[in-house]
Amino acid sequence: MDMEKIVQTIYDIVWSPALIVLLVSAGLYFTIRTRCVQVRRLPEMARLLFGNLSSRKGSSGITSFEAFCISLSGRVGTGNVVGVATAIALGGPGSVFWMWMIAFIGASTAFVEATLAQKYKSLHDGQYRGGPFSYIEHSLHQKWLAVVFSLFCIIGYGALLAAVQSNSVASAFDNAFHIDPVVTAAVVVVLLALVVIGGVKRIAKFASVVTPFMALGYIGISLVIVAMNWRVVPDVLALIFKSAFGFGPAFGGMLGSAISMGVKRGLFSNEAGQGGGAIVAASADTEHPAQQGLAQAFSVYIDTLLVCTATALMILCSGNYNVFDKAGNAIVMNAPELGANYVAFTQASIDSVLHGVGGPFVSIALAFFVFTTLVAYYLYAESSIFYLFKKNRSSKFKKVVIWVYRLVFFAMIILGSGLTADYVWTLGDIGVGLTTLVNIIALLIICPEAIKCLKDYEAVLKTD
């Protein structure tokens, strides 16, 4: 059995229909238990991000706004540009609807995991650290499962998902500027090293400046593209809703693919339930655990309902996309010249209105998205390493382990740039699935603690 078959077999096991049902069911359960906190507390989410918590300095943690920006940088990445294109290509336009659904219920999942991460955070070398491994150990009292999650996190974020991000930006630069993918990846590695070696506070400062700028710029361009195609917007929205439920001749047999791709790509993009956002949430210095839970829930909305939707509408309104069935046969070929070059869907969509701009703009935007996402991925895996070796008193040994990990992380970025898109996305989905499976099961058991924190916080708000 060759490597591709082995990878596909692992993928089929991890992403069985049971995991998709588990994710959706868990999100609905959390939504009900929190009494739809992701809607009820929207004003409070904004207040926490941009109010007095954003100015707390000199503590052992980062600010709530910085934690929000790091988690948003981990969420806003290649999944928002290339991931949306792959969802449309392999699940049809209806997959966009299911991405919206997983974002809505996923916001409640993000609240639960971030709140628990805050509750069980601890000081490590003068900085707050924590995440799923902390609440699995201290609430579930299952140290072995916490170790398993940490290992999955290192493998998933530090290797497999890093390769996906690298592949996307390398492909984009190859399309636009004909730059060798390995050269692009090497430049990313050099710049990345300058940021991540500075530690979590340098990462926080970098993310708090770059992330809002890049997201707003990308959404701005998308609004221009959609505005230039405003006449077809009602038809596109109708197409999304119809094909989401398998209606229509072209997408009648794609209901399963639409749901599956929408859930997978939505989860890949917004990270709700994966555990990465919880790791960042634990690094924040907040007055109450529920505060960071609300902030993290809000980042899911920005990622999927704004940035992912911007990409989807650009592609669908311009008509620059193709759709394939599970066997790889073409169902819709609106842009045969693009084939299965997913990142080119977005580039061609911008070019259709702003001629000659699409390739360079998407490449540069994707470079920002990917770079900040890789910074966040690095933090996730590094925090997992700190957890695994927290009882080792030798700081020298820890530094050696961290440097070994950094070299592996950088190597996977280089390696990922040369893999095929379908193969690397399969690897990425495995990485997402592994951490999510462990984390979601833990959250379902520990959820009452997060609900208790929410009720306590809401009682405080009533007295203010």
pLDDT digits (tens, 9 = 90+) for 307-341: 888 889 989 998 888 988 877 788 888 888 888 78
3-463: CATH topology is Amino acid/polyamine transporter I (1.20.1740)
Indicate the DSSP class of residue 262: H
pLDDT of residue 331: 85
pLDDT of residue 61: 55
Among residues 50, 19, 41, 22, the alpha carbon closest in space to that of 301 is found at: 41
CB 275 within 8 A of CB 130: no
CA distance 22 to 439: 11
pLDDT of residue 34: 93
Helices (H), 179-232: 181-196, 200-228
Helices (H), 271-420: 276-282, 289-300, 309-318, 342-351, 358-388, 395-416
For the chain, give the number of residues.
464
pLDDT of residue 54: 44
pLDDT of residue 221: 82
Element (H, E) at 353: none
Intervals of the chain under pLDDT 70:
1, 49-77, 125-126, 198-212, 249-250, 252, 392-395, 464
